A and B are shown apart, each in its own frame.
Chain A
Amino acid sequence: MRAKNIAWKAFIHLFMLIIVAFCLFPVIWMMIISFKTVGESISGFSALTVQQPTWANYERLVELIPLWQNLYNSLFTTIIGTITTLFFCALAGFAFAKYKFPGRTALFYFVIGTMMISTEIGAIPLFIIMRKINLINSLWSLILPRIATAVGIFYMRQYILGVPDEIIEAARIDGCKDFGIFTRIILPIIKPALASWASLTIIARWNDFFWPLLFLRKTSKYTLMVSVSMLPVSDGLSTPWQVVLAGTTLVVVPSILIYLALQTLQKSGIMAGAVKG
């Protein structure tokens, strides 16, 4: 029994280490190449060693794209997008979890059902709508359509269900109004859920690609993701892969760092208390 147990333990650790290797390898590989000089071999195993580490690829990147402006745009949409979506998803989730009103179940299923309709399919009409409300070339075009999402509402509702009704009743007796209950009682209690949802939203907004490509028409308005993605795909470009990978490193590494930072902030882990069965 004991020997079997040790073998099982060894197996679990081995399996997990292999998974970790698979998870990290492409990212490490990318970072290594971004420090290689142009002309140094990047094929096969030779990709894994660097003869003369250099920052030149990053310097070249700054020449090729308006890095700081693009970074500001990415940060703006990510931060404002996350704050607004947390607020409105929690608000709707609160309504579904703690109010009884006619049509609640039907509306809830309706919200879940809308997850099935992909917004991207209506891209062309959506563009026309965005233009009519003057949001083309505005970073708000990326924020506004998703300040409340079906998944977010579903997630918040599941979490708020777990908040005891007595707390809300007590607050009501103390003279707290509905909106006050939300801001003063619910929001503080669901902090862990907000933190988890925040990290996921930050990642999604930062990595957003399809919409910025469609709605933004000025180089100065591009997000970092768009500028970097144009390094290799543009017609008539000869950007060496070392430079392209320096660009992708600048996109990927910040999101990893943000994730790690948030991860240490919430000891309980990113999805603690998430979807309850």
Chain B
Amino acid sequence: MLKALKKHRYPYLFISPYILLFLFFQLIPVIWTVQISFNEWDGLRTMKPAGLDNYGLMLQDYMFLDAIRNTLYYWVLSAAGVLLLAIAIASFLNSDNLRAKTFFRTTTFLPYVCASVAMGLIFSMLFEENSGLINEIIVKAGGNRVPWLTSSSTARIPVVILHVWRLTPWYTMIVLSGLLNIPEEYYEAAHIDGASGAQQFSNITLPLLGNILFFCFVTITVDSWKLFNESYVLSGPGSSNTSLFQLMYQTGFTTFKLGYASAIGVVLILILLSISIVQFAIRRRQGEL
């Protein structure tokens, strides 16, 4: 053991900074959080053991259930929206039919560069019910004002739009890099065989992008379950568009129920872990990993 360690000291040494940082700044805090979740604590007075009370409260707490439902909604819609848009935009950016590629590449990446907090403020003004530009356009086009952020049924839409707006460029670039790696010969061969553009796309492009799309899906999943800034800035009535992470933050830092907030955090970790295990398992069964 020691011998192996000595022989391979360089790679271990090179990796050790990450491992140490992970231990101190991720693992220990998370384990600590699990411990807090079994207590009742306001951060100032001593902790009181609470057993599973915090977890029991979740089942009765409609805000928690709302937050789970909202986050699922954000996850599914953003993953679908981001991936579809990213594939479409990346394919067009990679197409021989497109002129001024540098211009398009540069400008379509800009939303990712913009701070989400700042853009959240701007979106909240654009989606304002009475005088926001979006409703103004709808009215001009002959429609009725939509109560975007003032009704429970629509309050999640602006959040998804902002999330998709900010994330699509990043995933577009990843998909594009995947497209650039597909050898030109494949398409030439298909062309000789008389395959149409659509056939080429579904028979060559998509399968070869498999791993990249999988990678994208996994990271979008994490991004969506950690969604915070967007729904925090674009808040709707009550808990109608509160995300799970936002609920955790508010429970911990505005109402100071640190035990309950930690329990929500633990559930969030468990959800993320199980989603990723399922994803990797499916991938493995398909023989792709």
Contact = CB atoms under 8 A, between A and B. Distances in A.
B104 A20 contact: yes
| Residue of B85, B89, B131 with most partner-chain A CB within 10 A | B131
A56 B72 CA distance: 44
Contact of B245 (A13, A26, A29, A120): A120
A175 interface: no
A148 B265 contact: no
A225 B177 contact: no
A113 B22 CA distance: 12
| Residue of A15, A44, A228 with most partner-chain B CB within 10 A | A44
Contact of A129 (B25, B122, B169, B226): B25
Interface residues of A, number: 89
Contacts of A275: 174, 177-178, 212, 215
A44 B127 CA distance: 10
Interface stretch (B44-52, B54-62, B63-71, B111-119): B111-119
Interface of A: 5, 8-9, 12-13, 15-16, 19-20, 22-24, 26-27, 29-30, 42-45, 47, 88, 91-92, 94-96, 99, 101-102, 104, 107, 111, 113-126, 129, 144-151, 153, 178-179, 182, 203, 206-207, 209-210, 225, 228-229, 232, 241, 244-245, 248, 251-252, 255-256, 259-260, 263, 269-277
Given A102-B4, A207-B115, A272 B177 contact: yes
A199 to B, nearest CB: 9
A24 B131 contact: no
Nearest to A47: B133
Contacts of A269: 105, 173
Interface SS of chain A: helix, strand, loop or mixed? helix
Contacts of A277: 178, 181, 208-212
B195 interface: no
Contact of B15 (A27, A107, A119, A225): A107
B272 A120 contact: no
Given A117-B27, A118-B225, A248-B121, 8 more contacts: A16-B89, A118-B245, A228-B118, A244-B121, A248-B115, A263-B106, A270-B173, A277-B211
B25 A119 contact: yes
Given A24-B107, A271-B177, A178 B117 contact: no
24 contacts: A13-B98, A20-B104, A20-B107, A88-B17, A92-B15, A107-B15, A116-B222, A116-B273, A118-B245, A120-B245, A121-B29, A121-B268, A122-B26, A124-B36, A129-B28, A207-B116, A209-B229, A229-B118, A252-B114, A269-B105, A269-B173, A270-B173, A271-B173, A275-B177
